[in-house]
Structure 1
Amino acid sequence: EEARLSAQGVLLGWPEAEGVVCDIGGNSMELAVVSGGKVGRRVSSPLGPFRLQQIKGGTKGILRFIRKVMKSLAADIGTGHDRIYLVGGSWRAIARLDMERRAYPMTVLHEYRMEPAALLETIDWIGKSDLAALRAKTGTSAARMELVPLASLVLRQLVETFAPKEIDVSSYGIREGLLYEQMPERLRMRDPLIEACRYAEKTTARMPGFGKKLFGFLKPLYADATPERLRMVKAACLLHDTTWRAHPDYRAEVCFDNATRANLGGLSHTERVFLGLSLLHRYKNSRAGSRLEPLFALLSDQQINEAEVLGKAMRFGAMFSIKSPEEAGALIWSPDRKDLTLELSPDTKPLFGEVAQARFKSLADSLAATATVRIAEPA
């Protein structure tokens, strides 16, 4: 039952999750296979740290017990799974230590992704380190840190037995699984990121509903974009005005902080930073000298440029028309010719003032394109 609920919690944040959910508690460890939005085979084991403390024979005895149980688990659910999703406080503590060892610039644990080889290095590092010092650095409680060495032994054997390509941390577990159980199927399959952004816009933006119009206005810039990129563009448009209450001097950084630290599902760390950086550029032309620069390292140069383009596109579109930018004009993007054209409706021409021109040119510059403005023929 716990395995099923934990797996459903993972599906709440990752509807597309494929692999094995591993939930560790004090006395047990549960495994459940997830695929196609469904929970499949599941099994419970006595591999919780409290239970392992009762095993006789010291570390060698504990390791023999772990290997024996893990072999049985592998026989029950198979080993051909690319991903393992970790649920539980002991796993999160180890993931936080992995961040510390790697000097990772973000401390959000949800959707933190680890490669097997690097995780095994961290487990070795934990075994050689002063746990009290690590606890002080990471803010881990004494009670939790006390269980980390035993949990590390289990995690090492889990990785070596199942040989996943990637290990992901989920902050969603049994509680979220109970919520998932009450949701109708149509709601379960909705995108958790877009739903969260819609709710944020509805409750905090000045003009709820404008994000959808802004997205429609900017779509010509993304005619060849992947579904994943369009998803980020849509999320950014929905969030573009949700921090308007912040002081103008800090609004850009508040946008970034909200995106990178908010309790959002369906969002990798790279996507968090991309979304945050695009929202930063929604309010600010330059990111130079920002205290947030260490986080930019999670993005490639191309991703940084794409986030800047999106931010400047929102910056222009949001002030171009406060009612319906698609009715006021249309963007025409020719990537081969590097030409960005704004076709204004006749009624909009008098409103296309100096600030709008400057923001449109800034958008074109971020695309390394020529900016062209023309008036549409009257209908």
Structure 2
Amino acid sequence: MNGVRTTSGETVAPFGPTFRKLPKRALRRVGVVDVGSNSIRLVVFDGAARSPAYFYNEKIMAGLGQDMARTGRLNPQGINRALSALRRFAALARSMGIEPLTCVATAAVREAEDGPAFQQQVERETGLKLHVIDGPEEARLSAQGVLLGWPEAHGLVCDIGGNSMELAELQGGKVGRRATSPLGPFRLQQVPEAALKGHIDAILADLLAAMGRDHKRFYLVGGSWRAIARLDMERRNYPMTVLHEYRMTPEDVLATVEWIGQHDLAALRARTGISTSRMDLVPLAGRVLSRLVRVFQPRELNVSSYGIREGLLYEHMSRDLRRRDPLLEAARFTEKQMARLPGFGKKLYHFLLPLFPDMPPERERLVRAACLLHDTAWRAHPDYRAEACFDNVTRANLAALSHPERVFLGVALLHRYKNSRAKSPMAPLFQLLDKSRLREAEILGKAMRFGAMFAIDDPSDAGLLVHVPGKRIELKLTGTGRDLMGEVARSRFRSLAEAMGVEAVIS
């Protein structure tokens, strides 16, 4: 086939098991170096938790694979920059007590004539051992990174690097068919303009034969895809610039690629903060993406900030840990680290549960997460706690959370500290929710606003909430609750009832 290698099955042996056998001490803090064709990045995860906590993150655009399609060798300037970065990363890892530091190299090093020599030079000068992985294994690890963020992901992962593009199928929490291709922008720079469309289409035809067309959702991994998504946000005046779980339709992609071609790249870079080296690759990456959506015809494209590095972290996880909800794991961790009374969020959730009968699972997890996070901004100045809560949750590194769900949590937490959201500086983001969802978030926030101050220990010991839909909410007080039901508590209870459009009854 035209430049395509494929494989099927769930896992590949050469790399994964080696990584899993790291000593238990290393699991507390996991360091990964990703040596790509364009960038080299060190990421240190604070333990193999279900929701990744980034203890340290540094990237350099080395350009190892630049001109390799023409010369067959790694870029000399890129080698110098890469060695300098790797020496620094090795020193940083030693200072953080991370040994061994796991280093993965992808398309440029595996395909260059001097790739083996570069491997030896890296080990000799830095002490780091590069694990050079093949295309299907690169696809598998990228797909695992997507699973880290989307446990229920179902569709096709598309990971673009400087010299290659990998595809991997996700279904039922497992990685299936995989394919690798030479559709990286560095390689395409060597193809004459007149032959470029035919060259891309021929490779995509082989990928389509290998992977099939029946993939309704694409998960886009890689810096070039993220840059295009950021430009799509700019074109649409999208109010939130969090790239993870940003969603585009095929029509969005085609319109944005055309829009990019009509604008000066330097001006776009200034507006979005995209680096010069990344922006230089965007036009070719856009050509690939526009042809990709025309050939495979997905219904939706989701941007993933998680890729190979997170896929390596996923290697550590037991089956039980992989099944846990990343959002709730992150919320529990945040509560433990930042709340005044860790553990109160669970009690608050159970106290408020009668207000939200027959919740679907996708709503229940948001209510639970909000209760866990309800007090994590208490150190902020009282005048700014509402906005701090909103900002924290909408911009936090949280997985398994769509943009509308981020805003839902943000609005709920805003109302935890503030009765009204009028004239809020966060108002532009409210448009991601319809009126009914905004009202639901407000009710949840005002319920937490009441419950969190009604009792400091366990509100269920002070009273029982009874909800008669459309008519009333009743608070049945215990002896303890009668003493706690002061003027402020009564006011907040009435505010909750008003938001629900029902009568407030205290008995």
Verify same fold: TM over 0.5. Answer: yes
Match of 1:273, SS? helix
Alignment of 1:128-139 (within 5 A): 128-139=262-273
User: Which letter maps to 1:303?
Assistant: R
Q: Post-superposition shift, 1:230?
A: 0.8
* Equivalence for 1:107: 241
Distance in 2, Cα, partners of 1:319 & 1:97: 44
Match of 1:249, SS? helix
* Equivalence for 2:182: 46
Structure-2-length-normalised TM-score = 0.73
Q: Post-superposition shift, 1:226?
A: 1.2
2:134 is the counterpart of 1:26: no
Match of 2:281, SS? helix
2:139 is the counterpart of 1:3: yes
Higher relative contact order (CA 8 A, sep 6+): 1
* Equivalence for 2:426: 292
Distance in 1, Cα, partners of 2:392 & 2:417: 14
* Equivalence for 1:368: 501
Match of 2:377, SS? coil
Distance in 2, Cα, partners of 1:180 & 1:95: 25
* Equivalence for 2:203: 69
Alignment of 1:69-88 (within 5 A): 69-88=203-222
Residue 364 of structure 2: which of 204, 218, 230 is its match?
230
Distance in 1, Cα, partners of 2:230 & 2:481: 53
Residue 377 of structure 2: which of 243, 246, 251 is its match?
243
* Equivalence for 1:377: none
2:306 is the counterpart of 1:165: no
2:121 is the counterpart of 1:121: no
2:476 is the counterpart of 1:340: no
* Equivalence for 1:94: 228
User: Which letter maps to 1:15?
Assistant: P
* Equivalence for 2:110: none
Report % sequence identity: 65
Q: Is the 8 A contact 2:385 2:417 kept in 1?
A: yes
Q: Post-superposition shift, 1:234?
A: 0.3
Distance in 2, Cα, partners of 1:161 & 1:326: 57
User: Which letter maps to 1:351?
Assistant: L
Distance in 2, Cα, partners of 1:276 & 1:330: 27
Q: Post-superposition shift, 1:86?
A: 0.2
Distance in 2, Cα, partners of 1:105 & 1:298: 8
User: Which letter maps to 2:183?
Assistant: L
2:347 is the counterpart of 1:213: yes
Distance in 2, Cα, partners of 1:206 & 1:351: 20
* Equivalence for 1:174: 308
Q: Post-superposition shift, 1:128?
A: 1.3
Residue 284 of structure 2: which of 134, 143, 150 is its match?
150
Deviations 1:55-114 (A, max 9, x none): 2x31x3111110000010010011101100000000000000000000000000000001
User: Which letter maps to 2:356?
Assistant: Y
Deviations 1:273-313 (A, max 9, x none): 00001000000001001111000010101111111000000
Distance in 2, Cα, partners of 1:162 & 1:191: 30
Q: Is the 8 A contact 2:158 2:168 kept in 1?
A: yes
User: Which letter maps to 1:24?
Assistant: I
Q: Post-superposition shift, 1:54?
A: 1.4
Match of 1:264, SS? coil
Deviations 1:117-140 (A, max 9, x none): 122111111111111111111111
Kindly tell me the number of residue pairs found equivalent between the two proteins: 371
User: Which letter maps to 1:298?
Assistant: L
User: Which letter maps to 1:317?
Assistant: G
Distance in 2, Cα, partners of 1:84 & 1:351: 53
Match of 1:330, SS? strand
User: Which letter maps to 1:283?
Assistant: Y
Match of 1:250, SS? helix
Gaps of at least 5 residues in structure 1 are: 375-379
2:421 is the counterpart of 1:323: no
Q: Post-superposition shift, 1:224?
A: 2.1
Distance in 2, Cα, partners of 1:155 & 1:50: 15
Match of 2:475, SS? strand
